[in-house]
Amino acid sequence: MTEINQMTTNPFDDDKLHEECGVFGIFGHKEAAAHAALGLHALQHRGQEACGIFSYDGQQFHSHKGMGLVGDNFSSTDVIGQLKGNSAIGHVRYATTGGTVLRNVQPLFAEFEFGGLAIAHNGNLTNTQAVRRTLVRRGCIFQSDMDTEVIVHLVAVSLYATVEDRIIDALRQIEGAYSLVAMTKDSLIGVRDPNGVRPLCLGRLDDTYILASESCAFDIIGADFVRDVEPGEVVIIDSNGVRSIKPFGEQKGRFCVFEYIYFARPDSIIENRSVYEVRKAIGAELARENGVEADMVVPVPDSGVPSSIGYAAEANIAFELGIIRNHYVGRTFIEPTQEIRHLGVRMKHNANISSVKGKRIILVDDSIVRGTTSKKIVDMMRQAGAAEVHMRISSPPTAWPCFYGIDTPKREKLLAGQYNIEEMAEHIGADSLAFISIDGMYRAVGEAKRNNDDPQFCDACFTGEYPTRLQDEEDLASDEMQPSLPLLAEKGK
Amino acid sequence: MTEINQMTTNPFDDDKLHEECGVFGIFGHKEAAAHAALGLHALQHRGQEACGIFSYDGQQFHSHKGMGLVGDNFSSTDVIGQLKGNSAIGHVRYATTGGTVLRNVQPLFAEFEFGGLAIAHNGNLTNTQAVRRTLVRRGCIFQSDMDTEVIVHLVAVSLYATVEDRIIDALRQIEGAYSLVAMTKDSLIGVRDPNGVRPLCLGRLDDTYILASESCAFDIIGADFVRDVEPGEVVIIDSNGVRSIKPFGEQKGRFCVFEYIYFARPDSIIENRSVYEVRKAIGAELARENGVEADMVVPVPDSGVPSSIGYAAEANIAFELGIIRNHYVGRTFIEPTQEIRHLGVRMKHNANISSVKGKRIILVDDSIVRGTTSKKIVDMMRQAGAAEVHMRISSPPTAWPCFYGIDTPKREKLLAGQYNIEEMAEHIGADSLAFISIDGMYRAVGEAKRNNDDPQFCDACFTGEYPTRLQDEEDLASDEMQPSLPLLAEKGK
Amino acid sequence: MTEINQMTTNPFDDDKLHEECGVFGIFGHKEAAAHAALGLHALQHRGQEACGIFSYDGQQFHSHKGMGLVGDNFSSTDVIGQLKGNSAIGHVRYATTGGTVLRNVQPLFAEFEFGGLAIAHNGNLTNTQAVRRTLVRRGCIFQSDMDTEVIVHLVAVSLYATVEDRIIDALRQIEGAYSLVAMTKDSLIGVRDPNGVRPLCLGRLDDTYILASESCAFDIIGADFVRDVEPGEVVIIDSNGVRSIKPFGEQKGRFCVFEYIYFARPDSIIENRSVYEVRKAIGAELARENGVEADMVVPVPDSGVPSSIGYAAEANIAFELGIIRNHYVGRTFIEPTQEIRHLGVRMKHNANISSVKGKRIILVDDSIVRGTTSKKIVDMMRQAGAAEVHMRISSPPTAWPCFYGIDTPKREKLLAGQYNIEEMAEHIGADSLAFISIDGMYRAVGEAKRNNDDPQFCDACFTGEYPTRLQDEEDLASDEMQPSLPLLAEKGK
Amino acid sequence: MTEINQMTTNPFDDDKLHEECGVFGIFGHKEAAAHAALGLHALQHRGQEACGIFSYDGQQFHSHKGMGLVGDNFSSTDVIGQLKGNSAIGHVRYATTGGTVLRNVQPLFAEFEFGGLAIAHNGNLTNTQAVRRTLVRRGCIFQSDMDTEVIVHLVAVSLYATVEDRIIDALRQIEGAYSLVAMTKDSLIGVRDPNGVRPLCLGRLDDTYILASESCAFDIIGADFVRDVEPGEVVIIDSNGVRSIKPFGEQKGRFCVFEYIYFARPDSIIENRSVYEVRKAIGAELARENGVEADMVVPVPDSGVPSSIGYAAEANIAFELGIIRNHYVGRTFIEPTQEIRHLGVRMKHNANISSVKGKRIILVDDSIVRGTTSKKIVDMMRQAGAAEVHMRISSPPTAWPCFYGIDTPKREKLLAGQYNIEEMAEHIGADSLAFISIDGMYRAVGEAKRNNDDPQFCDACFTGEYPTRLQDEEDLASDEMQPSLPLLAEKGK
């Protein structure tokens, strides 16, 4: 049996930004792995390409990893039964590169002098290459393409004595966005980078503590939300309870605002805001900022639904399912021949012709990336007989790539990186196009306005103002050597 | 490699009725099989367990069948490329029995004296056993458990000369519900039973004619809806165009009303009614018949959404996503241990706590079958802090099993087969429970009221009035011998 | 999961004739299926492409089939455990056509008025097409390409009352070679065609009766050989013991002499002759008929070993392993690029250079089919430094195709169908080439000589004298219609 | 798709010693990977559980690994086509532990500062644990259970500048038996430990140099044998040709004598001796030392054949195939139920009853490990009617475990570790039992006798005199900590 390199990216989804990962950890529950599987399932929207769980039973670490969905890999009592122990961590992954191999699936594990450490990571480091080169020079051997492995090696070569100190030592050497969960023989550790770009929160189920990317992972197992892990905080959970270390001092943090707009699940609560309510509020702001006379508000399913509800209620226009989504789109689908390629968008969406025919419609979507899908959807609405098609977007124009764990095209592939709004409207063929303003978005999340001197959120994809240095990008520009693993290594047939 | 018996039924979906099949046929297009794959994908909601396509290239029939989704089986140009020819038929299948083997996947094929015939069937015959016994006595050998095979053998042993005459000869001997598509070397044939219980419609794409269970399958390939095939009509498509035969004379038909309520896709148009608009109209009727003071209308996703929209608009109450659905529920999932079994419902649904907390909510769902899911959802709403939970159902109480191609539990397992509405409300724990009335439902589909002497629809699951004789059920009661294939035959490891 | 069409023919084995099938049946043992699996394993040399077992537990038939080896398909207690019951039949298969699908794997099963019948067949019918056409005309539907299915349909449509009578009725309508085992609810039935071309024998293990193609299948389960089933005999085993019917009267039989030469296992005893001793005797005859001065006798492994031992002993020349066989040749292997194609033969065989260098060697092989392998082996011996290479063949020249269940090339592809011995020697590059004479072969099996008026064996591949009419061949010559199943039907990716 | 832990050990083979690995390397051929696949196929007898090939194309390393046979993993032009480049190394593996995961499949690869290094290893280190502990302490992270990884890390952390120097630096720190092939961007490197316990030889095909465990791997690709790599020699092949370094000075070497007796292929030539001729010579010595009156010499197939030929010729007794081997025993087979477990041995071997009945036979086998198989075979011969059964073994009694790359049971499980010869004869039920003497064995390989002060070969399994220190064994006795990877890590379902 060989490892299989699966092309799991749905070609019809490539006009969305993708969250790269979700993490989960649990300490002190006799069904730790089963709860981890449920928690990862609740976080599945954060990564669908691969998943993995490590557990520890007091004597031995156990693990299971696989390509694909949590439900497809952790569905049997056999698998869960092998993941013995009272603590477990898990990971779901979306790969930014076209192919994924099992080697790149997290959590990672390493055996240290003091014992084993399993680690799972959501985010992206911005100085991976430089640190990696240094490590390779001193004899570290890398087994994967993941920046997470850099952290593992930094922990391994640290001269500090305790795991906590070694982790902190490692964190001081890395830059970028990271929410980590790590498991040792004695403890569960959670870390959020100083900017707190990616989410991580703490929950509790009786005497059991849980860490998860989003609070919806607590709901599925009946646990209570305790609090967010704070930006720059290291949380250590062991048999004595929860301790907190702030190796970087108090940090204000700049949470990723796109998590509210699109990535997070609507039923999650992050930094004391309901994602669903934020989205409705954005829809209402959008209606106030960019009203237009129309017969109905139509969400682009499914992500456009909450903001559509907010828009429709604010504008007092009927909310209608003018587009029907086919939920059976698998991870792969027929590669259409040239002849029928134009039918592609209909694999996933179909116009509800009898509703939209002859009507003036307001389409509400969360973002425009390349613009290819927007164009097809507007076109589909026109073919279905819509009299007018007005596009409203519940985010500002996405004009800059993300380097913090979101898969974005380069600036030159982003529609808003190339065109102004009028040109974009023409490109997608809408009668009108409007985006929420930066300040409108900040109002929807409860701020008076953006503090331009010290922004409350990471909004780099809209503003180009990145909260950290981007060393790998700089190095890439100056063409440094990149160590790399064998091409096709361990690729199966 | 052995055939594999996959348990593909999602255990958390077992409180829904399931459509058993969808069919598709296309004649005279050089990409017949690719279009059939797209059409079947649009009909995927009618069956997710298995799928198959046969094509004919003027000299040879070709086929491909597989377990699982259309997208997973017909995703490669290799597979599509092997299905050569200008005509093709296809089938998606949901099995009523727990396991499915490839042997039971349609279309079926048989070589006759006059050449090959491929056939695909949606529906269920009610005199299968009696006809099958007769056929076995005269030496026919059955290879599957499917009632469709009875039709194939009747065609094979018919003494008539032409395929059409043989098919009509076969139809005269069978009873029940059936929408068939069949493909010969020269023609594509569509048949709908005299009651027209299951849907079948005719579409056109330039010079190409298409048959499909629902019109949404035309939309995906850019074809136009022409008309429904009429109850009791045989439609023959060949190089001369479309011919129609009515071997049973003109028939009024009694279309399955549950197709409007739940089975069909909302963007389909059946017998000149938009499924989506019917559902909204049912919601509005429900609001008029069973209004209640509340803060929000919450759909049970996804099937309850259109009727919720209708209800909310009619009642002028806010429409809110109080329940969030996890769309990544795979075909299998973790079998929860005893400890965490009560968490099951949350695999698929989670309360949007911040929205429903402290609110009086109206839950709208399409039907109650066993009541297990309704009970869990009401309970989940209460745990999320809902002040009041009022359940409204957009169908009358489902009190009788279906024998026409829908997988229903026996009457004693149907909640409405055992209890009155008050008892049901108590069972599921709702503050109030109401169903739409029979006449309210008929009004929503555009009739003044039910014609009790000659009902306009098949509504047997609500009324127990079956439009045909149920011979197999009668025989079963009188304990006739049932021929059967080997248990586990061709079941893989 | 789709059925998979595996190319299982080893490309380096294509210069051998192949037995097509082996059969096994057992009646009255509580571990019937486990014994059937062992028995089929012992018969694996008769077919390696697919295998299947049916069992009957008094109420229900059970089955399991798979592509590949018995050991790979019946290796788990799960599979064996599902094959419940006290009687079982099984089959191993080598397909004559390039591809095999699960549909074509035996045993076949059919449900009749009187109950189920499972049947497994070794041999080949010579009037399949004519009978099949007749059956299709009267409405029989064929599901496979196997001639065995013709027998099943003939049983199904027979007007006789009992299974035995129906089987006999069917046998009267077919021509060719067949050794059958069949299982009903009450009995195990064995049949051998009037010529007894293929072997079938009866064994006993306490109160359990067993049927198998060869006696080596008795040894593996510790059963005793009772007797051969006689040519034209029908043996019926039920709870009353063993009955015998001779529907064709007493038959002398013409057993396939090639079974002695190559097909059968050396440890089998057929018609009272040890296959191993016959092969040694052929080697001795060959030495007497075609002696040559040499330093060593080298078998072409593995089939040439027994006749080499006989040759070496008779000629008093050293027996040496001058060719070493690689036993790890899988069912598939690297398709060599043009560059290295000439290395092909060495995948399986290598010269034992230190032994053969400078020596005069006598190579002993069982037959020459196309001559491609012989040529390569002679060449390999020369490259290894052999001083002289004399080829001795333990069968007469194979000049005619077999129509009785052996996969042979057409006459024009058989080296001996095109060339005389001198030309053949030149073709393969040997210093000398000799075959055993027809009468020498008859002597080795214990006859004084061949009775040309009424030959004691089927030796058609050497003489062209076929013991039955070859109607399908005649029809093919006159270009009759051939019904055929869909191309690629149920072929997986 | 998850990695699968396959139990690939044939349960009926567990009474043989197993070679653990074979290695192959090629430099400067445009079809490097295809030749590596052929070469590994020829070395398949040295390991059947897994295999892997790395190639280098001047810019990039490529790899493919898989569980199972070379032919099953490297059978397609696709796979071979992806392994681009003019140099390649490969490995076949037999695992000593019950299960194997892909993670443990060689070659290993590491990216160093100077570029990539792929390495494949045959043998076993005896100070792995101590070195590993040191490496872990300084921050090295281990990914596998293989001792080979110790070498890779030693190279990685070496302070020397060139690859050659780093490798030599690493070798100075390890003890035990190893034959290595390694590939860098510029060179192919071969190493044999100072005792030369495992074989490694150099071949040539035009301008292409090749390294392989045995010379039979040269024959399959048409290459010429040049010479053995010498004990303690490092051979460096690059574009300038072949260089030799002897970092340990001139070494006499103590080659594993069991390679001659059983492990190596009979057509290989090692240290100027033909393995086949050595085996025949052992048979002849055995006949001289332990003659007995009998009717036939019967080899236990297949390994006993050459020594049987030697025995039979020397003793002038007929050589007969009294045991027939079933070559279709797959890697797994039916787990026999209690009832039929005693039939186990017959899965692989059957008595040739008609030959052995009533005869006095001499069984010749290569070794007795646990004695379980010998007992069953003697018993099978008696059941077949043999009058007398004399067992002759072509090695001295195997009384001590091997720590140099051969899978042996502990001393207390070795029959000769517990019993004297008389007791062993009784245990296996033979009429007589004899082993070749130590000096007889040395005579057969061409020595006058064993030099007890400085033995010419490693014969530790017979004498208990190990040529190196056994530090891991000593540590184990003193109960040192053993770092270990997660149990079941990456184990699939």
Binding-site sequence positions of B for [4Fe-4S] cluster: 256, 402, 458, 461
Both tokens assigned to C292? 């040559």
Q: What is the pLDDT of residue D114?
A: 81
pLDDT tens for chain D, 493 residues: list them: 222 222 223 333 457 776 679 999 999 999 999 999 999 999 999 998 899 999 999 999 999 998 888 988 887 788 888 999 999 999 999 865 434 567 778 999 998 888 899 999 999 999 999 999 999 999 999 988 788 999 999 999 999 999 999 999 999 999 999 999 999 999 999 999 999 999 999 999 999 999 999 999 999 999 999 999 999 999 999 999 999 999 999 999 999 999 999 999 999 999 999 999 999 999 999 999 999 999 999 999 988 999 999 999 999 999 999 999 988 865 444 555 555 555 555 788 899 999 999 999 999 999 999 998 899 999 999 999 999 999 999 999 999 999 998 888 899 999 999 999 999 999 999 999 999 999 999 999 999 999 999 999 999 999 999 999 999 888 877 754 444 455 433 433 2
C72–D330: do the CB atoms touch at under 8 Å? yes
pLDDT, mean of residues B101-124: 88
**pLDDT more than 90, % of chain C:** 75
Within an 8 Å CB–CB cutoff, is residue A282 touching chain B? no
Identify which has the larger pLDDT, C176 or C72.
C176
ipTM of the shown complex: 0.90
Catalytic residue among D21, D51, D201, D216: D21
**Could you give the 3-state DSSP secondary structure of residue D140?**
coil
Within an 8 Å CB–CB cutoff, is residue C65 touching chain B? yes
* CA nearest neighbour of D160 among D247, D241, D90: D247
CA angle C320, C323, C325 (to 5 degrees): 120
Q: What is the DSSP letter of B103?
A: G
CA–CA gap between residue D14 and residue D373 (Å, rounded) = 9
D347–C38: do the CB atoms touch at under 8 Å? yes
Looking at the partner chain, which of D41, D326, D352 has a beta carbon nearest the beta carbon of C42? D326
B277–A35: do the CB atoms touch at under 8 Å? no
* CA nearest neighbour of D83 among D67, D103, D60: D60
Within an 8 Å CB–CB cutoff, is residue C157 touching chain B? yes
- Pick one of 1.10.3720.10, 3.20.20.70, 3.30.70.1400, 3.40.50.2020 as the CATH number of A274-326+343-445: 3.40.50.2020
Q: How does residue B67 score in pLDDT terms, banded at 50, 70 and 90?
A: confident
- Asked whether the beta carbons of B195 and B177 are under 8 A apart, the reply is yes
Q: Which of residues 22-41 of D touch C (CB under 8 A)?
A: 31, 34-35, 37-38, 41
Q: What is the pLDDT of residue C485?
A: 52
Chain A environment of B327 (Cβ under 8 Å): 45, 302, 327
φ, ψ for residue B392, nearest 5 deg: -125, 130
What pLDDT digit, counting tens, does each position of A291-320 carry?
999 999 999 998 899 999 999 999 999 999
Chain D environment of C72 (Cβ under 8 Å): 330, 332
Residue with tokens 């097909």: C263
Question: D365 among the known binding-site residues?
Answer: yes
Looking from the CA of C214 toward its CB, the CA atoms found within 13 Å total 26
CA–CA gap between residue C135 and residue C156 (Å, rounded) = 11
Q: Do chains C and A touch (3 or more CB pairs under 8 A)?
A: no
Q: What is the pLDDT of residue B409?
A: 87
Compute CA distances A64 → A89, B405, C170, whole Å.
11, 41, 57
Chains sharing 3 or more CB pairs under 8 A with chain A: B, D
In sequence order, the 6+-apart residues with CB closer than 8 A to the CB of B223 are B203, B204, B205, B208, B210
Chain B environment of A343 (Cβ under 8 Å): 38, 220-222
Chains sharing 3 or more CB pairs under 8 A with chain D: A, C
Task: Tell me the pLDDT of chain B averaged across its residues.
Answer: 89
Q: Does the pLDDT of residue B99 top 60, yes or no?
A: no
Instruction: Please state, as a whole number, how many other Cβ atoms lie within 10 Å of the Cβ of residue A437.
Output: 16
Q: Please identify, in words, the CATH class of the domain defined by B18-254.
A: alpha beta
pTM comes to 0.85
Q: How does residue B21 score in pLDDT terms, banded at 50, 70 and 90?
A: very high
Single-letter amino acid code for the residue at B410: K
D128-162 in b/e form (b: 16+ CB < 10 A) is bbbbbeebbeebbbbbbbbbbbbbbbbbbbbeeee
Of all residues in chain C, the one with the smallest CA distance to D277 is: C355
CA–CA gap between residue D95 and residue D10 (Å, rounded) = 12
pLDDT, mean of residues B190-206: 97
Cα of B212 to nearest chain A Cα, Å: 16
What pLDDT digit, counting tens, does each position of C51-84 carry?
999 999 999 999 999 888 898 888 788 888 899 9
Q: Does the pLDDT of residue B12 top 70, yes or no?
A: no
Within an 8 Å CB–CB cutoff, is residue B63 touching chain C? yes
Within an 8 Å CB–CB cutoff, is residue B224 touching chain A? no
Cα–chain center distance at A167: 24
- Asked whether the beta carbons of B253 and B233 are under 8 A apart, the reply is no
Cα of C146 to nearest chain B Cα, Å: 14
Within an 8 Å CB–CB cutoff, is residue C480 touching chain B? no
Beta strand D208-212 with D201-205 is antiparallel
Within an 8 Å CB–CB cutoff, is residue A470 touching chain D? no
Identify which has the larger pLDDT, D191 or C101.
D191
Counting as low any pLDDT under 70, the low residues of chain A are 1-14, 18-19, 95-101, 329-345, 479-493
What pLDDT digit, counting tens, does each position of B341-352 carry?
555 557 888 999
Q: Does the pLDDT of residue B3 top 60, yes or no?
A: no
Looking at the partner chain, which of D6, D111, D493 has a beta carbon nearest the beta carbon of A78? D493
Both tokens assigned to D407? 């899978």
Within an 8 Å CB–CB cutoff, is residue D50 touching chain C? no
Q: What is the pLDDT of residue D1?
A: 25
C321–D335: do the CB atoms touch at under 8 Å? no
Chain D environment of C336 (Cβ under 8 Å): 34
CA–CA gap between residue B262 and residue B408 (Å, rounded) = 14
Quick check: is B21 catalytic? Answer: yes
CA–CA gap between residue A25 and residue A87 (Å, rounded) = 8
Both tokens assigned to C164? 């035995």
The DSSP secondary structure of D19-55, one letter per residue, reads E-EEEEEEES-TTHHHHHHHHHHHTGGG--SEEEEEE
Listed by start position, the domains of chain A span 18-254, 274-326+343-445
Within an 8 Å CB–CB cutoff, is residue A156 touching chain D? yes
- Asked whether the beta carbons of C106 and C21 are under 8 A apart, the reply is yes
Beta strand D273-274 with B406-407 is unpaired
A336–B34: do the CB atoms touch at under 8 Å? yes
Looking at the partner chain, which of B35, B337, B350 has a beta carbon nearest the beta carbon of A219? B350
C71–D324: do the CB atoms touch at under 8 Å? no
Per residue, the 3-state secondary structure of B373-391, as one string, reads HHHHHHHHHHHCCCCEEEE
